[in-house]
């Protein structure tokens, strides 16, 4: 008694025939922002209140995408050109959208994705200096123009993110090719993310991820719930048991 349980009502939130029926939520941010952990916890909470949820990631998320991921992150591929890199990220994304994300959305599943197209704009565009307009066109082709309903940016200063990342790698998490960039690169990536968020405030929510993980998760949870409700997904509060 006295606490609130939520019962998810998943019918009646598709407005028009032929439109996607699920919700597509992406998590963005630099290395060490805690994206993967936060996304996992949100997935657990959503399924805990009765939603169908899948959690996937980029690059990867499909058998073909995982092979591409391996090429992208391998240390020995130091001579990869920025153009090859963007096309590989895009190839992995094209596969993921068609094989996993669209079919899941079509059956009403909430899809959480750890990185998506905005990573390309932030890393390859703002970070490496490739033409952002061109990247948007490549990305529109790769994704069949599928855009997230909500994008959560876990924002931390690069110094904090990289320190966390180093700690994790000492504890056994692999340190990959893309972890070896200069601090300036990560500063540009962060500025890029913040610019993207400012350009499209209806889709983005920026969360300060420098604090304790539990409070970051709680803040993201409120944002996710608000977004689902705004899309018409009813979370009916039921008090007591
Ligand atoms: P990963 O180990 O998954 O890092 P993280 O835990 O930070 O997500 O490696 C993914 C790396 O790929 C990360 O450095 C960001 C980079 N990346 C791009 O540069 N462009 C992209 O489009 C994507 C999806 C990732």
Q: How far is the CA of 73 from the centre of ligand 1 (A)?
A: 9
Largest separation between any pair of C-alpha atoms in the chain: 62
Is 159 inside any structural domain?
Answer: yes
What percent of the chain lies above the pLDDT cut of 70? 86
In this predicted structure, the answer to whether residue 25 has a pLDDT above a threshold of 90 is: yes
Q: Which residue has the higher pLDDT, 170 or 94?
A: 94
Q: Indicate the pLDDT class of residue 11, thresholds 50, 70 and 90.
A: very low
Report the pocket of ligand 1 as residue ranges, CB < 6 Å. 31, 35-36, 58-59, 89, 115, 119-120, 123-124, 176, 178
Domain range for 51 is 4-13+21-56+103-239
Among 123, 135, 175, 196, the mutation site with the greatest number of ligand 1 atoms within 8 A of its Cβ is 123
Q: Indicate the pLDDT class of residue 173, thresholds 50, 70 and 90.
A: confident
pLDDT in tens, 180-239: 678 899 999 999 999 999 999 999 999 999 999 999 999 999 999 999 998 876 443 322
Is the separation of the CB atoms in 69 and 60 below 8 Å?
Answer: yes
Average pLDDT along the chain: 87
Distance CA 130, CA 124 (A): 6
Is 179 inside any structural domain?
Answer: yes
Q: What is the pLDDT of residue 233?
A: 61
pLDDT in tens, 42-92: 999 999 999 999 999 999 999 999 999 999 999 899 999 999 999 999 999
Q: Find the CATH number of the domain harbouring 40.
A: 3.40.50.300
Is 81 inside any structural domain?
Answer: no
pLDDT in tens, 110-140: 999 999 999 999 999 999 999 999 999 999 9
Q: Indicate the pLDDT class of residue 101, thresholds 50, 70 and 90.
A: very high
Is 89 inside any structural domain?
Answer: no
CA-nearest residue for atom 12, ligand 1, is 178
Total domains in the chain come to: 1
Is 67 inside any structural domain?
Answer: no
Is 72 inside any structural domain?
Answer: no
Q: Rounded to two decimals, what is the model's pTM?
A: 0.87
Q: What is the pLDDT of residue 235?
A: 44
Tokens of 101: 């994300």
Q: Cα–Cα distances in Å, from 198 out to 191, 193, 194, 202, 205?
A: 11, 9, 6, 9, 9
Q: How far is the CA of 58 from the centre of ligand 1 (A)?
A: 7
């Amino acid at each position: 008694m006295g606490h609130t349980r939520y019962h998810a009502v998943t019918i009646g939130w598709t407005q028009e025939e032929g439109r996607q029926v699920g919700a597509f939520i992406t998590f963005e941010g630099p290395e060490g922002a805690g994206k993967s952990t936060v996304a996992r916890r949100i997935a657990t909470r959503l399924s805990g209140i009765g939603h169908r949820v899948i959690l996937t990631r980029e690059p990867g998320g499909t058998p073909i995408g995982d092979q591409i991921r391996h090429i992208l992150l391998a240390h020995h591929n130091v001579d990869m050109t920025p153009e090859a890199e963007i096309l590989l990220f895009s190839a992995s994304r094209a596969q993921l959208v068609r094989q996993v994300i669209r079919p899941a959305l079509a059956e009403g599943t909430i899809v959480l994705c750890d990185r998506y197209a905005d990573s390309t704009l932030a890393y390859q565009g703002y970070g490496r200096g490739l033409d952002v307009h061109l990247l948007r066109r490549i990305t529109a082709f790769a994704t069949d123009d599928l855009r997230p309903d909500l994008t959560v940016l876990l924002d931390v200063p690069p110094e904090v993110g990289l320190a966390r990342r180093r700690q994790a790698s000492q504890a056994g998490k692999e340190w990959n090719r893309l972890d070896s960039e200069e601090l300036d690169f990560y500063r540009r990536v962060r500025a890029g993310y913040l610019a993207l968020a400012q350009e499209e405030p209806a889709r983005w929510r920026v969360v300060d991820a420098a604090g304790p993980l539990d409070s970051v998760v709680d803040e993201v949870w409120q944002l996710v719930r608000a977004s689902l409700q705004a899309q018409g997904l009813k979370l009916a509060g039921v008090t007591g048991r």
